[in-house]
């Protein structure tokens, strides 16, 4: 029941109405160019992808589009409590034993911030780079 409520709230935020789910809505409609960087601090690698998607598409949809059309590959699981959880990117999976995970970040200009929602609810914005950063927690 809680998962249903969370899912409905996320989908409601994604409806194509001006202002819903988008705090810095500019009034512009149409496609959004989404840039995605996959970084791995352990191997010092950065892979970049980009695609154009309808405004309001969640990152889960963006990642599926990239998986269908480019060499990006990802896996996920669905938590009854928290929704879609990113497990692996391009064959690299997080590990509880090694304290590693995929951190989700947003870069706009010089500012980089951690996201407070996952790929199921997050909507990328214009002039932003979505970063999936393979890292470790302490």
- Residues 51-87: pLDDT tens digits? 999 999 999 999 999 999 988 999 999 999 889 999 9
Q: In this structure, is residue 119 part of a structural domain?
A: yes
Q: Where are the alpha helices (DSSP H) in 14-58?
A: none
With a cut of 90, say whether residue 93 has pLDDT above it: yes
Q: What is the pTM of this model?
A: 0.78
122: domain CATH number is: 2.170.130.30
Task: State what percent of residues in the chain have pLDDT above 70.
Answer: 80
For residue 99, tell me if it sits in a domain: yes
In this predicted model, what pLDDT tens digit does every residue of 47-58 receive, in sequence order?
999 999 999 999
Q: What is the pLDDT of residues 5-45, one digit of tens each?
A: 444 445 444 444 344 444 444 555 789 999 999 999 899 99
Cα angle 107, 109, 113 (rounded to 5 degrees) comes to 30
Q: Number of structural domains, the chain?
A: 1
Q: How far is the C-alpha of 18 from the C-alpha of 28, rounded, in Å?
A: 9
Distance CA 11, CA 94 (A): 27
Query: Chain-wide mean pLDDT for the chain?
Result: 84
Q: What integer pLDDT is reported at residue 101 of this predicted model?
A: 96
Structural domain harbouring 103: 2-16+32-136
Is residue 23 in some structural domain? no
In contact, 20 and 121? CB cutoff 8 Å: no
């Amino acid at each position: 029941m809680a998962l249903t409520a969370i899912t409905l709230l996320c989908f409601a935020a994604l409806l194509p109405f001006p202002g819903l789910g988008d705090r810095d809505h500019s009034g512009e409609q149409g496609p959004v160019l989404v840039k995605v960087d996959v970084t791995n601090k352990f191997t010092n690698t950065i892979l970049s992808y980009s695609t154009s998607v309808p405004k309001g598409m969640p990152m889960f949809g963006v990642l599926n589009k990239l998986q269908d059309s480019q060499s990006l590959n990802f896996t996920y699981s669905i938590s009854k409590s928290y929704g879609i959880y990113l497990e692996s990117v391009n064959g690299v999976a997080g590990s509880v034993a090694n304290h590693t995970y995929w951190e989700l970040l947003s870069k706009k200009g010089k500012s980089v911030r951690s996201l407070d929602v996952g790929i199921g609810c997050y909507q990328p914005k214009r002039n932003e780079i979505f970063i999936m950063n393979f890292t470790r927690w302490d």
